[in-house]
Structure 1
Amino acid sequence: MTQQMYLPTFFVRQRFAMTTNRYELYAPDAGGGQGQLYGLAEQKRFAFKEQVTFFSDDSKSRAVFGFKARRALDLNAGYDVTDESGQQIGFFRKDFGASLLRSTFHIEGPGYTGTGQERSQVVALLRRFADIPFLPIHFDFVGADGAPLLSIERQATVRDLYTVQVPDQRVDFRVAAAVAVALDALMSR
């Protein structure tokens, strides 16, 4: 059985790379800024079947978790989140129909299911129909009971920087990190 990992707040920062999408995961320091590096995520661009691998550090010598599409071409694509031994620890999928005007995702893990949606309908529409760079983007995920599971907030910066808040201790850090990276990497932000 896989041990759960919980981190109530962390940051995801996009790194520049020519042939891959790269993301660094940071725990907060005592002052609330970026502290200890928790890992590095990497997605090869133009892959036939979407997959993102998370490594323990820049050396990429140890893959610690990841997510992978269940099918190659699917508008309602589902992604399994797995630990370093390949055991499933969570699942998420984009809801294509609901996402036409406001991006919507569904998330599942041990003991919870939920839905996440862009917080602002106005920002969602601006993102789709106007070319305005660096819009702050916020997603709120709530459980079936309406209680908050996690929130992901993109800062208005040149390189993508996300603050991830996880008030529900059932949500594994690795699942929250996978969803945060997916919002950027899979939606081409």
Structure 2
Amino acid sequence: MPSNEPSHEQQPAPMVVPRFFIKQRITVMVNRYEIRAANPDGSEGALMAFAEQKRMKLKEEVIFFTDESKSRPVFSFKARQRLDVHAEHDVFDEYGRPLGWFSKQFGASLLRSTWNLSAPGIQAVGQERRLFIAILRRLWDFIPYIGDIWVPFVFHFDFVDTATGQTVMVSERKKAIRDRYDVTVPDPRLDFRVAACMAVALDALQSR
């Protein structure tokens, strides 16, 4: 007789958050990120995690804490290689146990930023939604003088399951002086900690 129990791939992740926000604060040598819950009315809720990214590190590592006191780390991601455009980044829980990993597809990203995302039961690919904006962003950096002018291009990423084509995660950048992202996770198999790491990496590592 067939089993009525759900398969491993259908089981929800240990920590499921369908929607959250990311806000970036820029300083001279450190990027700071706040991850906040989304209230039922769509407004920003409680702080869920706080992270800092130190620039110019040989081996990328970002640790997420409960708050700005940085007294308790709760999850992190770390590159397997040093300053490598092909680097794979592992996501860990607060005890150092692996939760998933992600990496950038270097060849495809020359035209349109593309990422691999892996977690239990999930193999997904994320790509910039609008090819026109992707090309415009790249051209902007190479135009003399113009490329030095900061322009807040609004670009979004859609991650889809490679097996089913279903949406796994969406990160949408909002129009603001400081970077702000609205992240939705319709797939309950994707753990919040993996989604948060991927969403922060889309900002922190985008130029790599």
What's the TM-score, normalizing by structure 2? 0.87
Q: 1:135 aligns with which of 153, 167, 170?
A: 153
Letter in 1 for 2:196: A
Match status 1:45 vs 2:55: yes
The match for 1:117 is 127
Indicate whether 1:108 and 2:127 are aligned. no
Q: 5+ residue gaps in structure 2?
A: 1-12, 141-146
* Letter of the 1:170 counterpart: R
Point out 4+ residue stretches in structure 1 off by more than 6 angstroms. Answer: none
Aligned counterpart for 1:55 among listed residues 55, 65, 80: 65
**Secondary structure of the residue that 2:106 maps to in structure 1?**
coil
Identity of aligned residues (%): 51
Hey, what's the Cα distance between the residues in 1 that align with 2:180 and 2:127? 18
| One-letter identity of the residue aligned with 1:16 | I
2:198 is the counterpart of 1:179:
yes
Cα distance in structure 1, aligned partners of 2:84 and 2:57: 14
State the AA in 2 paired with 1:43. Answer: Q
2:183 is the counterpart of 1:164: yes
C-alpha RMSD over aligned residues: 1.4
1:17 offset after TM fit, Å?
A: 2.6
Question: Structure 1 length normalisation: TM-score?
Answer: 0.95
2:171 is the counterpart of 1:155:
no
**How many equivalent residue pairs?**
187
Structure 1 residue runs of 5 or longer lacking an equivalent are none
1:94-105 matched pairs, under 5 angstroms: 94-105=104-115
